[in-house]
Structure 1
Amino acid sequence: MKKDIEIPEVEGVYMAVVQEYNEIYKTDDWNAYIINDKEVDLEMILIVSRGYDEKRETSTMRHKLAKLPAKSYAKAEWMQEDVLALNNEFRVTFFEGNKMYDKKYLFRKNTINTNAFRPLPLMETTGILVK
């Protein structure tokens, strides 16, 4: 029965971490974004995130987006500076049409830093991207 469940490979959907200036608190904040670089809308997006290493683990966070239009992006989560030293895992599940897709995105510990910034698809900024 398990072998009958087909979960297709995810393409064109990415997770990115961006450093942005917060006008209210006058701080440089780290934010995680989901990017839909597909030509179709995504529906019922569930994002489950956690940080971990050999000795520590954060609480599991859950986020839901009803819809993410084609060629767009949305902020998924604000990230505390302390969790950048951990592996940061984002499990993303969504529907495209009538098919369910699922993918794990992993930012390895200490890879979220300004030295790793690259241009991001659709966003007019730089950051760290996981495909």
Structure 2
Amino acid sequence: MKKDIEIPKVEGVYIAVVNEYNDLYKTQDWNAYIINDKDVDLEMVIIVTSGYSKDKATSIFRKKIDTLPAKSYAKIELMQEDLFALNNQFQVTFFKGNTMFDKTYLFRKNTINLKALQAIPLMDVKGVLVK
């Protein structure tokens, strides 16, 4: 029966952690975003995030986005710098039409830092990207 289950490959959907200025609090913050670089809308997007190491684990955070339009992005969460010493996992599930897609994005410990910044698709900012 397992051979009959088709799991489609996720392409054009990314997770980025961006270092940006917060006008309200006058601080530099790290924020996680989901990016839809596809030409179609994503429906019922569910994101489950957690951080972990051998001896530590964060609580689980869940976010739902009803529709993520084509060629757009949405903020997932503010990330504290203390979390970067952990592996940070983002499990993303969404529908495109009647097909369900699922992918786990992993930022390995200490990979989110100012030296790792690169151009982020669609956002005109620099950050750390996982495809």
Measured against the shorter chain, the TM-score band is: over 0.9
Residue 39 of structure 2 aligns with which residue? 39
Aligned partner of 1:117 in structure 2 is 117
1:26-48 deviation per Cα after TM superposition (whole angstroms, max 9, x unaligned) = 21111000000001000000000
1:58-89 Cα shifts (integer Å, max 9, x gaps): 00000000000001111011111110111000
- Percent identity between the two aligned chains: 68
Counterpart residue number, 2:53:
53
Distance, in Å, in 2 between the alignment partners of 1:123 and 1:24 is 20
2:96 matched to 1:93?
no
Residue by residue over 1:5-40, the C-alpha shift from the partner in whole angstroms, topping out at 9 and shown as x without a partner, is: 322010000000001111222211110000000010
Q: Which amino acid aligns with 2:117?
A: F
Aligned residue pairs: how many? 131
Q: Which runs of 5+ in 1 are unaligned?
A: none
Q: Which residue of 2 aligns with 1:16?
A: 16
Structure 2 residues without counterparts, runs of 5 or longer: none
Report the AA paired with residue 7 of structure 1. Answer: I
Tell me, yes or no, if structure 1 residue 130 matches structure 2 residue 130. yes
Question: Which amino acid in the other structure matches residue 62 of structure 1?
Answer: R
The alignment partner of 2:11 has SS state of coil
TM-score (normalizing by structure 1): 0.97
The runs of at least 4 consecutive aligned structure 1 residues that moved more than 6 Å come to none
